[in-house]
């Protein structure tokens, strides 16, 4: 298997799907001439042409609205938003149209739509450009929310998303575009809505996704040196949410730490914890711990920003707490 970056895996997935199906096209701010804000679509315009690589105005409502319209008319658009924070501008289109039209019209309409958007903090872009609002969008039935944490998953899940007839929000963490990993050769997809064991262990279960997969794996290696073997479950999708591997792991370890980059209040960790308490109460040996971002708008100052964001050491401390 080739070892490539997260950026390359995402780029390969889009390129291959555009080669495979002429109905697939990409649209967004600077996706053409500049090759994307994070260079994901570099070279696409020269190869596919301006009809299939469409630069748009700085208008997220127009981007998502036009993508919905084209999907309803048989195309398979990939709409790129420069950042997840700008998805709020197109909130009505995303949650009141894309997520609901198939249901409200009794299945007569399909929306094969992928909305790509990088999110997360750690780049000194200040409070309004550094949020991790994944759970907000996962709240709405009808919209699938995918957030991979490895290059292999990034490629396989994105190819599956493009081939799906459902509207899918595909979230990329902007600080791990350069992270490398093995990616299978050839054409492959990964089913959306299936969690994965990224590391086996026997002492506690760490449930996480996206960028925090890498942080959790790093924490697990340090814990292993202290005789604590953590099993890591990567959710990969927030909706649909696959709790099967989470519950199986928890019934083995009887302890859990939930790790997310977003804020703790009303977050992914709260949902996962509630489901464990509801469905595996008899297996609990210690209170579930949650690791998340501090409850503040993310600071611009780099030192304060890192203090606010969850770190590997926070995961280690939470793991030791549940092991006491």
- Asked if residue 202 and residue 152 are part of one domain, the reply reads no
Task: Give the residue among 287, 223, 227 at the shortest CA–CA distance from 254.
Answer: 287
C-beta separation of 14 from 176 below 8 A: no
Are residues 223 and 158 both part of a single domain?
A: no
pTM over 0.75: yes
CA atoms of 14 and 232, how far apart (whole Å): 28
- Same domain, yes or no: 96 and 210: no
pLDDT of residue 114: 98
Please report whether residue 205 resides in a domain: yes
Does residue 39 fall inside a structural domain?
Answer: yes
Nearest to 215 by CA among 319, 322, 126: 319
Can you give the pLDDT at residue 322?
98
Q: Among residues 155, 183, 211, which one ends one of the domains? A: 183
The answer to whether residues 32 and 113 belong to one domain is yes
Residue 260 phi, psi (nearest 5) = -145, 160
Is 190 inside any structural domain? no
What angle is formed at CA 172 by the lines to CA 167 and CA 178, rounded to 5 degrees?
A: 150
Which pair of structure tokens corresponds to residue 140? Answer: 């709405």
Q: How many domains does the chain have?
A: 2
Tell me, yes or no, whether 161 lies in a domain.
yes
Q: Alpha-carbon distance 168 to 140, whole Å?
A: 12
* Active site (annotated) includes residue 182: no
Task: Detail the DSSP E strand segments found in the chain.
Answer: 2-5, 24-28, 53-55, 76-80, 114-119, 144-146, 168-173, 180-183, 196-199, 204-208, 230-234, 237-239, 256-263, 289-293
Whether 160 maps to a domain, the answer reads yes
pLDDT attached to residue 4? 97
Q: Choose one of 137, 153, 183: the last residue of a domain.
A: 183
60 in catalytic set = yes
For residues 200 and 159, state if they share a domain. Answer: no
Contact 131, 298 (CB under 8 A): yes
Same domain? For 274 and 165 the reply is no
What distance lies between CA 25 and its chain's CA centroid? 21
pLDDT tens, residue order, the chain (324 aa): 999 999 999 999 999 999 999 999 999 999 999 999 899 999 999 999 999 999 999 999 999 999 999 999 999 999 999 999 999 999 999 999 999 999 999 999 999 999 999 999 999 999 999 999 999 999 999 999 999 999 999 999 999 999 999 999 999 999 999 999 999 999 999 999 999 999 999 999 999 999 999 999 999 999 999 999 999 999 999 999 999 999 999 999 999 999 999 999 999 999 999 999 999 999 999 999 999 999 999 999 999 999 999 999 999 999 999 999
Is the same domain home to 170 and 280? no
CATH number at residue 176: 3.40.50.970
Domain interval for residue 43:
2-183
User: Does a structural domain hold residue 314?
Assistant: yes
Q: Which of 93, 129, 260, 305 is catalytic?
A: 129
Strand order in the sheet with 204-208: 196-199, 230-234, 204-208, 256-263, 289-293
Instruction: Find the CATH number of the domain harbouring 316.
Output: 3.40.50.920
Same domain, 134 and 55: yes
């Amino acid at each position: 298997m080739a070892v490539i970056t997260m950026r390359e895996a995402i780029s390969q997935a889009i390129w291959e799907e555009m080669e495979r199906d002429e109905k697939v096209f990409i649209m967004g701010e600077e996706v053409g001439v500049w090759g994307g804000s994070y260079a994901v679509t570099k070279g696409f315009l020269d190869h596919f042409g301006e009809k299939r690589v469409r630069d748009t105005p700085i208008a997220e409502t127009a981007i998502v609205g036009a993508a919905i319209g084209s999907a309803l008319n048989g195309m398979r658009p990939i709409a790129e938003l420069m950042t997840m924070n700008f998805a709020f501008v197109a909130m009505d289109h995303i949650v009141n149209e894309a997520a609901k039209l198939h249901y409200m019209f009794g299945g007569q309409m399909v929306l094969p739509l992928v909305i790509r958007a990088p999110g997360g903090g750690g780049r000194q872009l200040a409070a309004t450009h550094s949020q991790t609002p994944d759970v907000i969008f996962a709240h709405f039935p009808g919209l699938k929310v995918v957030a991979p944490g490895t290059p292999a998953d990034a490629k396989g899940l994105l190819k599956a998303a493009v081939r799906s007839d459902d509207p899918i929000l595909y979230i990329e963490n902007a600080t791990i575009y350069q992270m490398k990993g093995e990616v299978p050769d050839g054409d492959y997809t990964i089913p959306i809505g299936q969690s994965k064991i990224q590391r086996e262990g026997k002492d506690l279960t760490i449930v996480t996704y996206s960028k925090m997969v890498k942080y959790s794996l790093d924490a697990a290696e340090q814990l292993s040196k202290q005789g604590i073997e953590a099993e890591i479950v990567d959710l990969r999708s927030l909706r649909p949410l696959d709790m099967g591997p989470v519950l199986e792991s928890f019934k083995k370890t009887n302890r859990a730490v939930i790790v997310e980059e977003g804020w703790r209040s009303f977050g992914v960790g709260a949902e996962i914890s509630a489901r464990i308490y509801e469905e595996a109460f008899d297996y609990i040996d210690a209170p579930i711990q949650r690791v998340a971002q501090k409850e503040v708008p993310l600071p611009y100052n780099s030192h304060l920003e890192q203090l606010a964001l969850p770190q590997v050491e926070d995961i280690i401390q939470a793991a030791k707490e549940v092991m006491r």
